[in-house]
Amino acid sequence: MKMTFRWYGSQSDSITLSQIKQIPGMSGLMGVLDYKAAGQVWEDKEIEAYMAEVHAAGLECEVIESVNVHEDIKLGLPARDEYIANYCQSIRNLAKHGVKVIVYNFMPVFDWLRTDLARPIPEDGSNSLYFDEAQLGDMGPLEIVRSTIENSNGFTLPGWEPARLAELENTLEQYKSVSSEDLLANYKYFLDGIIPTCEETGVVMAVHPDDPAWPIFGLPRVAHSQADFDKILALHDSPSNALCLCTGSLGSDPANDIPAIIRHFGEMGRIGCLHVRNVKHLGYHKFREAAHLSSTGDLDMYAILKAVHDTCPNTYIRPDHGRMIWDETGRPGYGLYDRALGAAYLNGLWEAIGKGEQA
Ligand code: DNO
């Protein structure tokens, strides 16, 4: 297992690479160029500059996140061929700089969605990301976008880049005629277009689950259960077509048995990487993000890491969203302190599992 950390780049992150390097056991990053609009080529020179900085800090960057898929691809519009060609070029450029796994998602319009970015946790006085579908009902897509941008402390959030959102109303209208079957057909077209380039360059595509793990605003969503991922992997059968197993996203639906899902796809060799975090269910379609420790949420982190240890022990892992603690301010979900605590805890579990097996 390689422990990694999400970092947005020196222009865009409040956290420094030297802080990340000081977290015990940190091998490197799941990096991102957060200013890239969906559909743009990630250029050789900009990747080179990002990597130079990361390597100078003594860290690796073999995983890149949020190479966002243009809506025209998901909608199946004629311009998709051009955007798929751009995507292939980004894959080649990233591979040239040592990238082995690319995390992306195929959610229409929105990446992850929350109704509150800093909900106080009464038990300990910290705050975390929170979702309550009942609250969403009064809001509507445009309002939720506005409130997410306004409450993100001036930071961009993955999937919420202003450039992507300018056309929101129009895009929502276009999706009215797209069913889940259409989305899957468009997904297959995309995979058929990019997987040969991945195979050529040794890159694994890792799809991030829908978050939360159910459809929202009537938009089609096709990636939030084991059965969904079985279908996605069958769209283009290749070791380069894999998953980013995000425990908190899938775990927002209590029906998803996360350790069992990890075992299923781990045994198939189809887990490209994992985002590991905990979630506390508060009612129907209502949850908040919890500290990583099993007892603070509803996921069993020991069982999760044991499944990884048994089926895909060489994968990349990162502590996902943390709470905001110790008066830290920053990008919601992406502060330093709670994610560092999460990494330390996950490393501890990993060591205990390994030594327990040798004993
Ligand atoms: C959320 C992240 C996601 C993920 C993208 C990949 O915090 O895990 O934004 O990076 O869905 O495209």
Which ligand 1 atom is the nearest neighbour of the CA of 107?
11
Q: How many Å lie between the centroid of ligand 1 and the Cα of residue 249?
A: 10
Is pLDDT above 70 for 173?
yes
Cβ–Cβ < 8 Å for 30, 6:
yes
Tens digits of per-residue pLDDT, 133-142? 998 777 778 7
134 burial via Cβ count (<10 Å: 0-12, 13-18, 19+)? exposed
Mean of per-residue pLDDT scores for the chain: 95
Q: Which of 304, 346, 359 has the alpha carbon at shortest distance from 25? A: 346
Helix (H) or strand (E) segment spanning residue 4: strand 2-7
Tens digits of per-residue pLDDT, 319-329? 999 999 999 99
Q: Note the pLDDT of residue 143.
A: 81
Question: In the structure, which protein residues have their CB atom closer than 6 angstroms to any atom of ligand 1?
Answer: 65-66, 103-105, 111-112, 158-159, 208, 246, 275, 321, 333
Token pair recorded at residue 118: 């800093």
Between 80-96 and 44-56, two packed helices, what is the crossing angle to 10 degrees?
30
**% of the chain residues with pLDDT over 90:** 85
Average pLDDT over residues 106-122: 93
Q: Note the pLDDT of residue 163.
A: 66
Q: How many Å lie between the centroid of ligand 1 and the Cα of residue 66?
A: 6
Average pLDDT over residues 201-208: 98
Specify whether the backbone of 2 is left (phi greater than 0), alpha (psi in -120 to 50) or beta. beta
Tens digits of per-residue pLDDT, 30-84? 999 989 989 999 999 999 999 999 999 999 999 999 999 999 999 999 999 999 9
**% of the chain residues with pLDDT over 70:** 98
